[in-house]
Amino acid sequence: MRRIVLKSITKIAKTIKEAKAAALQELGVKENQVQIEVLEEPSKGLFGIIGSKDAVIRVVLEDTYPEKTKAFLEEIVSKMGVDAKVEYFEDEDGLHLEIAHVDEKSAGILIGKRGETLDSLQYLANIVANQYSNHYIRVLLDTQSYREKREVSLRALAKKMAQKAKRYGRNMKLEPMNPYERRIIHSELQNVEGVSSYSEGKEPYRRLIIQVDRKQTKPSL
């Protein structure tokens, strides 16, 4: 995880404790939010007067792209009238963010029709995360396991519509979906014999077509 240096200051005082206190007061943070480096230890010198040296420290205020994205989402969610906390973890797939501790009504507001609001929040979170990272970060946003439930629903829909296409011998047009959802449908149809799939139209109205197979065609996302 790449850390972002937000501010670095140097403080001089008679003791390290006094230098720390002055730095923390100036930055308006607590000690556990910064990195402190002692550049020079204080010394009393001869007879406690001659050659005495003050303490010199450097205090670095850091942040990370997950924390920046988390703070951004919590602010947006609050302005939407939803009281919630954002939790996160990272793995090889990217930065996973979860809007947690919300009731069913609030979750409905955050998700929106067919997940459109949640997708918009994810898009904004992606912009913020990559603004504070020196490499591309894939952001995945969820609440109340909506993404998992939606995937189960889409896979069931794919099987149902594939059987319908074969039964009636004609193409089946699905509702407009985002690329992620279309990819789930395409993936599920790979396991269904006798049909193929492709997408047509422009975003955000691009939709997936299921057709009875005459020959295998590679899905177009």
Tokens of 56: 């010199």
Q: Tell me, what DSSP letter sits at residue 175?
A: P
CA 87 to CA 142: how far, in whole Å? 10
Tell me the pTM.
Answer: 0.65
Percent of the chain with pLDDT over 70: 90
CB atoms within 10 A of CB 9: 14
Q: Which residue type occupies 167? A: R
pLDDT in tens, 140-183: 999 999 999 999 999 999 999 999 999 999 999 999 998 889 99
The DSSP H or E segment spanning 178 is none
pLDDT in tens, 55-114: 999 998 776 788 889 999 999 999 999 999 999 998 888 999 999 999 999 999 999 988
8 Å CB contact between 29 and 48: no
pLDDT in tens, 98-117: 999 999 999 999 999 889 99
Which of 82, 28, 90 has its CA nearest to residue 59?
A: 28
